[in-house]
Structure 1
Amino acid sequence: MLALGIRRVHSAVDAPRLTKFFLHAPKCVEVEFANGSAFKLSAEFLRINSPAADGRVRSVGGEKVISGRRHVGIMSAELVGNYGVRIIFDDLHKTGIFSWDYFYHLGSNKFSLMRNYIKLLKKHGLSRDLPRRK
């Protein structure tokens, strides 16, 4: 478990101050905020919502889709300045920096974001699982 000391930076998002960040590698991240909100965000959920542009994103019908990440894991997290964390995933994705405000957005909208992601995969005939090797 990784716990980081948190300092607040002003941003355009009206998210409450982050008070706790815990990495439970490889499964999830837990974040807690000053307003009492607490969220447990899975590695898969964070990976598919990475704020970075990723070369492994498929463009299907003009939509960007990341598939096959159900069993992705988190290898580590690195503090970036005093505003966020870079998460390194075991599929070697490491370019996304998750700000404290973005964690609040993800946690607050977790169920609708995941539901929309699953609908998008179904729409394009894709899966949360990796394709089987032949």
Structure 2
Amino acid sequence: MTATPTEIRVSKDRKSLTVTFDDGARYALPAEMLRVLSPSAEVKGHGPGQAVTVPGKRNVEIMTVAAAGNYAIRIGFDDMHDSGIYTWSYLRELGEDGARLFADYEAELAEKGMTRDRAERPR
């Protein structure tokens, strides 16, 4: 049985989401991690090998959090991405294993010559 959140709270600076589960586990999930590891098809792709590496999201903020049935939330970010459905089990996975998943993401960025910082627009 999957633990269910008893509280989901966006930080005042909109840079993190704290999820408290009914078994007492509590995780502060950075907005950047939630954005770049979004479960959306835009990020994960529609099949094996189609995942996309999303650079430049270091300063992304959470704009909205909405219920998606009784099993998930949809998070809207200030870069207009809002198509990911974050199930309770995926939020738990990010809480428990997010540091490793984010380190893998950073390694992938480096391998592809990308950065966490947003590219400056030419003037």
Residue of structure 1 in register with 2:33 after alignment: 45
Residue of structure 1 in register with 2:117 after alignment: 129
CA distance in 2, matches of 1:64, 1:17: 29
Q: Map 1:22-101; keep pairs closer than 5 Å.
A: 22-24=9-11, 26-54=14-42, 64-101=52-89
Which structure dedicates a bigger proportion of its chain to strand? 1
How much has 1:63 moved relative to structure 2?
5.6
TM-score by length of 1: 0.79
- Alpha-carbon distance change, 20 to 63 in structure 1, aligned in 2, over 3 angstroms: closer
Could you list the per-position Cα deviations for residues 55-86 of structure 1 after superposition, in whole angstroms to 9, with x for gaps in the alignment? 7x8xxx97621100001111111111111111
How much has 1:17 moved relative to structure 2?
2.8
> Which structure 1 residue ranges, 4+ long, deviate > 6 Å from structure 2?
none
CA distance in 2, matches of 1:54, 1:63: 8
Which structure dedicates a bigger proportion of its chain to helix? 2
TM-score by length of 2: 0.86
SS of the aligned residue for 2:42 comes to coil
CA distance in 2, matches of 1:63, 1:53: 8
What amino acid does structure 2 have at the position aligned with 1:105?
E
Superposed CA RMSD: 2.0
CA distance in 1, matches of 2:101, 2:28: 14
Is 1:15 the counterpart of 2:18? The answer is no
- Alpha-carbon distance change, 77 to 42 in structure 1, aligned in 2, over 3 angstroms: same
Gaps of 5+ in 1: 1-13
Could you list the per-position Cα deviations for residues 22-80 of structure 1 after superposition, in whole angstroms to 9, with x for gaps in the alignment? 1225211101112321100011010011110227x8xxx97621100001111111111
Contact 2:42 2:52 in 1 (8 A): no
Residue of structure 2 in register with 1:110 after alignment: 98
CA distance in 1, matches of 2:89, 2:76: 19
CA distance in 1, matches of 2:3, 2:66: 22
Deviates more, 1:19-28 or 1:124-133: 19-28
CA distance in 1, matches of 2:24, 2:59: 30
